[in-house]
Amino acid sequence: MADNFRVIFVGLAEGIDSRATKATLAAKLNTSEQKIAQFFSGKTLFVPSNKDKALKQSKLLASLGIQSKLQAVSTAATAAVNKLPDSQKTLRDERIFDALDYITSSLIRLEEKLEELEQRLPEIEVTAMADEHIEWQDDDLMLDDDLLTPLKKRSNVLLYALTATVVTLLALLAVYLTNPNLFTF
């Protein structure tokens, strides 16, 4: 069972002008009349899609007086349809390279402006520092009194207790690892 369907041109309804229909369809789909003319000559206008979307496309064409039918397409054929011709690939590649070139040149311009700003920044800081009078140097700080007070001696009892506990636990671990049968839990 096919996953995708393609809308194929069958003909125009009676009393429908092909030129007016081409122009109207091109305007509705925002495409060129050349693509519409190719569709009328047997080429595909829409990419293969699921059945619901293909039915909607067929209904759109029917509203304009264009008779169409759905053709089942296998997934391998869909992949072949999606491949671009070499001329379109090179055109796409050129557009990508042009976009990358534009981005690169924009980045270079930004970098130059940033360097210019960095060069101006030290000048601005130096002039601002020279204009300001530094007031904190005039104040007498009383730090000498705090530095001269002796530190209180703390007792090391807690430190000795923690050290003894750690050494005892390490000794018990060593005994357990060498002789695990001594300890039964």
CB 44 within 8 A of CB 58: no
Q: What is the pTM of this model?
A: 0.40
164 has a pLDDT exceeding 90: yes
* Nearest of 57, 52, 48 to residue 83 by alpha carbon: 48
Given pLDDT bands bounded at 50, 70 and 90, which one contains residue 171? very high
CB 35 within 8 A of CB 45: yes
* CATH tag for 4-82 (out of 2.40.160, 1.10.3470, 3.30.750, 3.30.1390): 3.30.1390
The residues spanned by each domain of the chain are: 4-82, 85-133
pLDDT tens string 48-96: 888 888 888 888 888 888 888 888 887 665 455 456 677 777 888 888 8
User: Can you tell me the mean pLDDT for 10-30?
Assistant: 87
Q: How far apart are CA 132 and CA 82, in angstroms?
A: 69
Tokens at 143, concatenated:
């730090």
Tell me what the pLDDT averaged over the chain comes to: 79
